[in-house]
Amino acid sequence: MAPALVLVGSPVGHDRHDTGAWHPERPARLDAAMRGVDEPGLGEAIGVLEGRPAGPAELARVHDERYLEALAQFAAAGGGRLDPDTVASPGSWDTALLSAGMGLAAVEALSAGEAGAAFVVGRPPGHHATRDRAMGFCLLNNVAVAAASLTAAGERVLIVDWDVHHGNGTQDIFWNDPAVLYASTHQWPAYPGTGRADETGGPGAPGLTINVPLPPGATGDVALAALDEIVAPAVDQFSPTWVLVSAGFDAHREDPLADLAWSAGDYADLTARVMGYAPRVIAFLEGGYDLSALEHSVAATVATLAGETWRPEQATSGGPGRQVVDRVLRLRAELA
Ligand SMILES: [Zn+2]
């Protein structure tokens, strides 16, 4: 069987989001991720996704308009620190618009039948950004902007967030939205301190938030169990028409910011699982701060999206966390 086309888009080359000399969320991440796209030698299975900046009305579906104005002005005035972790430079606003717009371009291309999958290699990342607050290196919530464009068109969206940090912004934005199922695996305890197992969605969307808070050292087999045993049954009930992935790669064992123990091979397995949840898949780069781990993990993910096998590292198993999956299963049984 011929490999499936995967559209890849990135603001690399137009990246003017300058976080300073020592910030882990740095421009070299995009270069490493794009090396990862090239690594498996997928040839014509990789297509270029042409981007565009996100427009004000598209952003206003998930962000407060006063927040958007203030952020644009803050960058234009020279930028600086938005919180202890999060900075903006004069070029950050335009780069953030391009990253959010790249996700919208992916929605448009897949809607037009140009491909079945896309990978948005953007920065800054997005999943910590709330309606009215930048935090955790994030300015605009890229995955939420794309999801909201889909739900506005009547689609049902599953967001799988396998970044090592909980996507508090995405959870907040869709907390009470019956058209979005949000499922996150993340380290616990860790930044930003949200994502407990008993955070399961608002009264308008009961059970449509799934959190699997994993202990340090958890391996990829536990993440797969979370998808197979918790997320897959919820997906069967919810019947999403699209899957968006907050694809951070900072749960990799080499990542300097966190303590999970996954490998590039685990990302191949996770990607294969989410591809089974709906016919159209868009992955968004979130975290991932070891450049070599990021490159190989992106390679495994993109190859899997193309229907190819590329495993720079073996999948991992044997770490702690199985009991968390069981606890979440018990909690969901009580909800039902
Ligand atoms: Zn992260």
Indicate whether this model's pTM tops 0.85. Answer: yes
Average pLDDT over residues 114-123: 97
Tell me the angle at which helices 65-76 and 92-111 cross, rounded to the nearest 10 degrees: 130
Is 128 part of the annotated catalytic residue set?
Answer: yes
**pLDDT tens readout for residues 142-174:** 999 999 999 999 999 999 999 999 999 999 999
**pLDDT tens readout for residues 220-272:** 999 999 999 999 999 999 999 999 999 999 999 999 999 999 999 999 999 99
Q: How far is the CA of 44 from the centre of ligand 1 (A)?
A: 31
**pLDDT tens readout for residues 202-220:** 999 999 999 999 999 999 9
Specify the pLDDT at position 2: 60
Give the separation between CA 110 and CA 133, rounded to whole angstroms: 30
Across the chain, mean pLDDT equals: 97
DSSP letter (8 states) at residue 14: S
Q: How far is the CA of 248 from the centre of ligand 1 (A)?
A: 6
For tokens 């695996």, the residue is 185
Q: How far is the CA of 300 from the centre of ligand 1 (A)?
A: 18
Give the separation between CA 30 and CA 24, rounded to whole angstroms: 12
% of the chain beyond a pLDDT of 70: 99
pLDDT band at 336 (very low <50, low <70, confident <90, very high): confident
Mapping DSSP to helix (H, G, I), strand (E, B) and coil, where does residue 289 land? coil
Q: How far is the CA of 179 from the centre of ligand 1 (A)?
A: 25
Predicted confidence (pLDDT) at residue 1 exceeds the cutoff of 70: no
Q: Are 260 and 2 in contact (CB under 8 A)?
A: no
**pLDDT tens readout for residues 23-65:** 999 999 999 999 999 999 999 999 999 999 999 999 999 999 9
Predicted confidence (pLDDT) at residue 11 exceeds the cutoff of 70: yes
Q: How far is the CA of 286 from the centre of ligand 1 (A)?
A: 6
Backbone angles phi, psi at 56, to 5 degrees: -55, -40
**Token pair in block for residue 56:** 């004000």
Backbone angles phi, psi at 44, to 5 degrees: -75, -5
Backbone angles phi, psi at 262, to 5 degrees: -85, 165
Catalytic residue among 128, 165, 166, 296: 128
Average pLDDT over residues 259-287: 98
Mapping DSSP to helix (H, G, I), strand (E, B) and coil, where does residue 257 land? coil
Dihedral, 167, 168, 169, 175 alpha carbons, nearest 10: 110
**Token pair in block for residue 29:** 């991440």
